[in-house]
Amino acid sequence: MKKVFAVIGTLLAMAVIYLVAVMLQNPADSKAGSFVVEDEAETISRMQPAQIDNAENLAAQFGAPLPVVPSLKVRGQAGNTTHDGRNVRVATLQYDGLVITAVRPASAAPLLLRSELSVSMVSSLTVLNHPAVLATKGGAKCVYFSNESAAYSVYTPQAEEEAFMEVLKRMTWAK
């Protein structure tokens, strides 16, 4: 009988200690394990829209590296827009049959989406060593990827998949 009372006493003591610990817990500590998206510290200032024929100069105007296809003639432009009430920098590089668009900050990635395309789950796809998502419809193809600086899309209105993938492999960064 003494052992039963000892076990009950021990369980009661543990319950009291647990209740005291729960009541003394700081509410802010309970959020420590939850998923929180940090607010981006960088504020994008507005700039005058610019037409630029040099990818390095366009990257400097954009404020982050841009993916480019070397040895192809490019026309580019940089400007501003807004997303969720914040200023966003946008850069577009136009090649013959290919358009690369970038937005900074990366949280503005929804501006890049092309709603007419369907996303496919190709899990092994990477562009410039970043995981990427492929969206297609007929011959139209678009790849989306991002890094800590910006979000990017590479779009072609008409291309065979093998040729499009080969272009993605040739891409480098303009800084």
pTM (whole model) above 0.85? no
In the predicted model, residues of the chain with pLDDT beneath 50 are 34-39
> How many CA atoms lie less than 13 Å away from 130 in the CB half-sphere?
21
Over residues 47-77, the pLDDT tens digits come to 788 888 889 999 999 999 999 999 888 999 9
Phi, psi angle pair for 135, to nearest 5°: -125, 140
Round to whole Å and give the CA distance between 60 and 89: 12
